[in-house]
Structure 1
Amino acid sequence: MSKSQHRPVLWSWLVSVLTVVGLGLGLGSGVGLAPASGAPSNFALDRFTDRPQAPLDPSAMVGQVGPQVVNIDTKFGYNNAVGAGTGIVIDPNGVVLTNNHVISGATDISAFDVGNGQTYAVDVVGYDRTQDIAVLQLRGASGLPTAAIGGEATVGEPIVALGNVNGQGGTPNAVTGKVVALNQSVSATDTLTGAQESLGGLIQADAPIKPGDSGGPMVNNAGQVIGVDTAATDSYKMSGGQGFAIPIGRAMGVAGQIRSGAGSNTVHIGPTAFLGLGVMDNNGTGARVQRVVNAGPAGAAGIAPGDLITGVDNVAITGATSMTEVLVPHHPGDTIAVHYRSNDGGERTANITLAEGPPA
């Protein structure tokens, strides 16, 4: 077995592309996307009312937009895994927009700037895991080509999606397609913890976005970014797969909040508070501890695998997702009260000072 391994978790952290397990109804049509294991659906294609526009030239878009892209590489020191994704340069001094799931959990992040061929160490400025948006800072970067930000997508318009497909590095890969629907919703399940996440208001395109493309630009015929590549159905392995993107207006709004330092219950600014636990759902009654990081704050406080976390600071914990959410407003150095039921059945509370850890 290779020393490095991929990590099969929510939002497909390592392959950096969401796996869709469900999809909301599209535009009130009453027609949903076929199950991910089935054939690709083209249910929205017959909605076009205008003559279809000619497809874009992917090689031309790579030449135009590629220099505004970074390839992101991640390492996960706690389980010896690696990952890859893509980012969009939005400021010449090295500010990068990407998906939160690209960098979530990473203990080391680097970025290769396609425009100048340099590799940079990366700091996480902040993130909103509910919107799947993160903002990164490339250390020491300046004078970088920046992306042109476009307007709203329209059904039927041709697009090109660019990204670091399969973590190949170098020049971005590009795939073409058309916007087939707007305001779509996807959901995904963490195969390790059972936690569920959903993301709505997405652009759907008949472009086969693939692992590693997450965080990359979806552009229009002018090379302007209209979306952030975010998710793909399981059919991305086949020709004609469906891809999803966060509309750029929404993504830039979240990025602006992060850059202004305006934290909230969903937006985290700066270093991430680290408890040092891996948890899973427990049928709506707490979060079951699966693993404890050696020398981490929770382990030092006596919490062990098999214990059941029932609350934090008297806020009830209903599962893995709520365990993550309750920590979002906290920072390293904060002290929290963790309420839990130990393996021996005793109800306990541990006052734990949070350390600095990887982004949530």
Structure 2
Amino acid sequence: MSENPNAPLGAPWPRPQQVAPPAPAPESAPQPTPPPSPQRRWRIVALVAGLVVLLGLTGFTITRYVLRQPPPPKPPSQPFDIGGAYARVRPGVANVEAVLATGQGVASGTGIVLGADGLVLTNNHVVEGSIVVRVTLAGGRVHDAKVLGYDRSHDLAVLKLAGVSGLPTATLGDSGQVKPGDYVLGVGNAGGQGGEPASAVGRVTALGRSIVARDAETGATETLHDLIQTDAPVRQGDSGGPLTDTAGRVIGVNVAGSAGYAVEKGEHESYTIPITPAAEIAGQIAAGKESGSIHIGPSAYLGMTVNETADGAGAMIQALVQKGPADEAGLKAGLLVVGVGDQPVRSAADLIAQMDRHHPGETLKFTITGQGGQQATVSVQAASGPIG
């Protein structure tokens, strides 16, 4: 193209200066790195600056993300002040030990201190068959206890400690105010281990329930009515102990059963005698007022065990204590007791209930029958012996 600036197409673009290429370096010598041009330097600086800005923004974003993470989940809170409720009822809770007759061992349970003078409420099945009862109070003091009386049909017994006064007592609530869904706390001598009572938390699941309790030795059954049902995991040894509300007020007497007293219940079910009627029965026993179901004082002892019969024909004599009242009167194992005085006996439970109406020293007339169907009347003078 013409170099004339006045040419029709104008001046051409200037041509780049022709520079001869450098001579190739020897193979052994490294190629020198040419210094970056000013334009490349600015590109590198811009790239680094951009990377720094990007990292800064990324770091800022991560930091904000970490700060906004939700806190770790908290452990589930207690449904109520369990420690506070326990502390309020604990001074009025006692461990009960009953030494059983004929070398059968020791039964363990729990009691509720009702009176500062040593009045203690527990289950009848805790002390039934015992010859010695001991009560361990809060603080570890141990006292012998006398059974003032019992109500077998409600599974309640009242003990009296000798020579005590000023004892802390349990605060009683109103079991009539209890409703399903209420939180509750069971306290007792779980497992009969002694020492500090254990606690069991649950909720009321039903009211007005009935259960059947069975005596392992005689096979006799007793139906307990109008009970509070809960899912608190009370165990053997908790029997006779308190069930409290969330304020530590006693609303019932736990019925957990024992090795010789089986309570028919489902899994995750516990039963409690409402405290309002229980306290009324305890007051009658403490006042020495007998009734059709309340026995006051020592039990009438015959020295024999009986079993249920399959056809409800009476109470079968299973065994006799050598030289006991029944043995001395000539009764034998295998005979049927079908009456006491003018009252018929159709079962072991009938006979036990009849004996609760009598006392040591009384002479009782038993109607007996054998396999041949013939009947005879045998007089037996009751002695003083194990409770119930």
Give the TM-score category using the shorter length.
Answer: 0.7 to 0.9
| 1:183 shift after superposition | 0.6
> 1:189-240 CA distances to partner (integer Å, 9 max, x unpaired)?
334433221111111111011010000000011110000011477788x7xx
Matches within 5 A, 1:114-193: 114=138, 116-152=139-175, 153-193=178-218
Say which structure, 1 or 2, has more relative contact order (CA 8 Å, 6+ apart).
1
In the aligned structure 2, how far is the partner of 1:261 from the partner of 1:213?
27
What's the counterpart of residue 238 of structure 2? 213
Q: Map 1:77-92 onto structure 2 (within 5 A).
A: 77-92=101-116
Aligned-pair distance for 1:308? Answer: 1.0
Cα distance in structure 2, aligned partners of 1:183 and 1:286: 31
Q: Rate the CA distance shift 1:204–1:235 in 2: closer, same or farther, 3 A.
A: closer
Corresponding residue of 1:26? none
Q: Which residue of 1 aligns with 2:95?
A: 71
Q: By how many angstroms is 1:349 displaced?
A: 1.3
SS in structure 2 of the partner of residue 199 of structure 1: strand
- The CA distance in 1 between the partners of 2:196 and 2:371, in whole Å, is 52
Assess if the C-alpha contact under 8 Å between 2:123 and 2:156 holds in 1.
yes
Distance 2:155 2:140 in 1: 27
How far did residue 59 of structure 1 move?
3.4
Q: Which one-letter code corresponds to 1:189 in the other structure?
A: R
2:336 to 308, 325, 332: 308
What is the letter of the counterpart of residue 275 of structure 1? L
Q: Classify the secondary structure of the residue corresponding to 2:354.
A: helix
Residue 269 (1) aligns with residue 293 (2): no
1:345 Cα deviation from its structure 2 partner:
5.9
- Pair 1:234–1:344, CA change in 2 (3 A): closer
Q: Output one character per residue of 1:162-188: Cα deviation in whole Å (capped at 9) or x when no partner.
A: 000011111110010111111111112
Correspondence for 2:380 among 334, 338, 352? 352
Task: Provide closer, same or farther for how the CA distance between residues 195 and 268 of structure 1 changes in structure 2, counting only shifts above 3 A.
Answer: same
Partner Cα distance (2:282, 2:215) in 1: 25
Q: Which residue of 1 aligns with 2:83?
A: 59
Q: State whether residues 69 and 87 of structure 1, in contact with CA within 8 Å, keep that contact through their aligned partners in structure 2.
A: yes
Whose helix proportion is higher, 1 or 2?
2
Structure 2 CA distance for partners of 1:55 and 1:295, relative to 1, 3 Å: farther
Aligned residue for 1:130, secondary structure, equals helix
Q: Give the match's secondary structure for 1:73.
A: strand
Please tell me the residue identity of whatever aligns with 2:271: F
* Pairwise CA distance, 1:344: 7.2
User: Which amino acid letter does the alignment assign opposite residue 381 of structure 2?
Assistant: T
| Unmatched runs of 5 consecutive residues or more in structure 2 | 1-76, 258-262
Q: Distance in 1 between matches of 2:235 and 2:316?
A: 33
- Does the CA-based 8 Å contact 1:56-1:176 persist in structure 2? no
In structure 2, relative to structure 1, the CA distance for the partners of 1:187 and 1:161 (3 Å cut) is: same
How far apart are 1:79 and its partner, in Å? 4.1
Does 1:326 pair with 2:348? no
| Matched residue SS, 1:146 | coil
Query: Cα gap change, 1:337/1:56 in structure 2, threshold over 3 Å: closer, same or farther?
Result: same
Letter of the aligned partner of 1:183 in structure 2? G
Distance 2:250 2:298 in 1: 28
Bigger mean CA deviation after superposition, 71-80 or 156-165: 71-80
Distance 1:163 1:350, change over 3 A: same
What is the alpha-carbon distance in structure 1 between the residues aligned to residue 366 and residue 339 of structure 2? 6
| Aligned position for 1:280 | 307
Summarize deviations over 1:220-272 as a string: whole Å, max 9, x none: 11110000011477788x7xx22110000010011111112110121000111
Q: Provide the alpha-carbon RMSD of the alignment.
A: 1.9
Distance 1:205 1:292 in 2: 41
Alignment check: 8 A CA contact 1:99 1:215 kept? yes
TM-score when normalising by structure 1: 0.80
Amino acid at match of 1:97: L
* Mapped partners of 1:290, 1:195: distance in 2: 13
Aligned length: 304
Amino acid at match of 1:56: F
Per-residue deviation, residues 68-113 of structure 1 (Å, max 9, x unmatched) = 1110011112243211000000001100011111111111111100
For 1:209, give the aligned amino acid: V
Residues 62, 172 of structure 1: 8 Å contact kept: no
TM-score (normalizing by structure 2): 0.75
| Distance (Å, rounded) in 2 between the aligned partners of 1:146 and 1:322 | 36
Q: Report the alpha carbon displacement of residue 64 of structure 1 after superposing the two structures with TM.
A: 2.2
Q: What is the distance in 2 between the residues matched to 1:324 and 1:349?
A: 18
Letter in 2 for 1:213: D
Q: 1:148–1:225: 8 Å Cα contact kept in structure 2?
A: yes
1:55–1:176 contact (8 Å) kept in structure 2: no
Aligned to 1:242: 269
**Aligned pair partner of 2:255 in 225, 230, 243:** 230
Displacement of 1:342 in angstroms is 4.2
| Larger-gyration structure (1/2) | 2
Unaligned runs of 5+ in 1: 1-52
The answer on whether the counterparts of 1:124 and 1:137 sit within 8 Å (CA) in structure 2 is yes
